[in-house]
Amino acid sequence: MDSGSVVEPERYEEQHVHQVYEQIASHFSSTRYKPWPIVKSFLQSLPPGAVGLDVGCGNGKYLPVNRDVFIVGSDRSTNLVKIASQHQPHAAVVADTLALPHQAGRFDFAISIAVVHHLSTPERRREAIREILECLNEGGRALIYAWALEQKDSRRGWDEGHEQDVMVPWVMKTGKKNPNEDGSTEKTFQRYYHLYRSGELEADIVAAGGKVVESGYEKDNWWAIGQRDPGNKP
Amino acid sequence: MKVLTLNFLTCAVKACKSTSAAFPLHPKDCELVSDTLEANPKLLFNILPRIDWNALIITASELGFPTLPPTPPTPEQLENDPKMMQELHTLLLETQISEGSLVCANCSHEYRVKEGIANFLLPNHLV
């Protein structure tokens, strides 16, 4: 791989993921408040005093689920981290999923919900999962969610056979006080997603040096719980 | 940013992460503010064994707090000493770094803290 193609996905994600979230942060946050059931029960099952990570925490909607544990959330978007950092007793910092500011082997758990699907190459998605798994201690578990290709009953309607790399519009009302130049009051942002097909998330966890403890499908998403696997030397 | 958070952060540079010099990060020119937060004994008792106590001693002393004991209190000691519990709660959860920098002793990179938010995004030459 030449240096040109190493830089490219980063710039691409900067434009089609990071800048979009930074601009839609507050509107996005107002639509993200209901925790998904499996994430909620994963967090509620943790013993008091457990310390973990929420990688790509967004507005921190999972932070209020359990106040007897300590979670350090991280996200690329400063505007979202400002919102997330208000959930006590937890914390949130601005960081890149591929360069987490955490020690290896230190954490009891991690969640990364709807994040790795924003990385635009297979190598970078696996690298993100590797980065998360490395933070876990022995027995530590990471719950990872990614948008599913197979969701024919959703309003997007994608299914097996569809292109997996897609642009998904986010429509934000600008309000009548701040109309666009043509007088319209909606602004559309395009976000990049890689839609995971059945089995792909589990394969990425194994490719990242981990093992899959449990996995499944919930609300148009694939999810998997991964652990570090000392016996897995890819 | 809470003092407790600093105990779970290190330098984001790959080459630094595995070195002992990169942890803990060192506060520089930091302004502190104090939040009022209801104490949660269940969290405090149980998180103590998860804290790197030696790193906390360094952080507390660099922020100008009184010297901590060389070993963490046991849950029994804490339970019988409400004053110690309140002091730990104040140090770990109520004390916030509002402005300043966090410095890696391995690569000397400084991470800015602005309005209580620490930023670990790396400049291109460090990625």
In the prediction, which pLDDT does A1 show? 38
Q: Phi and psi for A188 in degrees, rounded to 5? A: -110, 130
> Residue B97 pLDDT > 90, yes or no?
yes
Q: By the CB < 8 Å criterion, does B78 face chain A?
A: no
3-state helix, strand, coil in chain B (%, to 5): 40, 20, 40
Which of B18, B43, B94 is the mutation pick for testing A, counting most A CBs within 10 A?
Answer: B43
Q: Judge whether A84 and A58 are in contact, CB under 8 Å.
A: yes
List CB contacts (< 8 A) between A74 and chain B: 120
Mean pLDDT of B79-102: 95
Alpha-carbon span B12 to A129, nearest angstrom? 16
Q: By the CB < 8 Å criterion, does B72 face chain A?
A: no
- Give this complex's ipTM: 0.97
Which of A6, A54, A70, A134 is the mutation pick for testing B, counting most B CBs within 10 A?
Answer: A70
Q: Test B9 with A68 for CB contact under 8 angstroms.
A: no
Domain locations in chain A? 9-228
* Interface list for A 24-53 with B (CB within 8 A): 47-51
Alpha-carbon span A224 to A198, nearest angstrom? 11
pLDDT tens, chain A, 234 aa long: 344 455 589 888 888 888 888 888 777 777 776 788 999 999 999 999 999 999 999 999 999 999 999 999 999 999 999 999 999 999 999 999 999 999 999 999 999 999 999 999 999 999 999 999 999 999 999 999 999 999 999 988 899 999 999 998 888 887 777 777 787 888 888 899 999 999 999 999 999 999 999 999 998 999 999 999 988 865
Q: By the CB < 8 Å criterion, does B111 face chain A?
A: yes
List CB contacts (< 8 A) between B2 and chain A: 91
**Helices vs. strands in chain B: H and E counts, helices first:** 6, 4
**Helices vs. strands in chain A: H and E counts, helices first:** 6, 9
Q: By the CB < 8 Å criterion, does B11 face chain A?
A: yes
Which of A103, A124, A130, A136 is the mutation pick for testing B, counting most B CBs within 10 A?
Answer: A103
List CB contacts (< 8 A) between A81 and chain B: 117
Domain B3-126, CATH 2.20.25.10 — does that match? Answer: yes
* A9-228 topology per CATH: Rossmann fold (3.40.50)
Nearest-Cα distance to chain B for A174, in Å, is 27
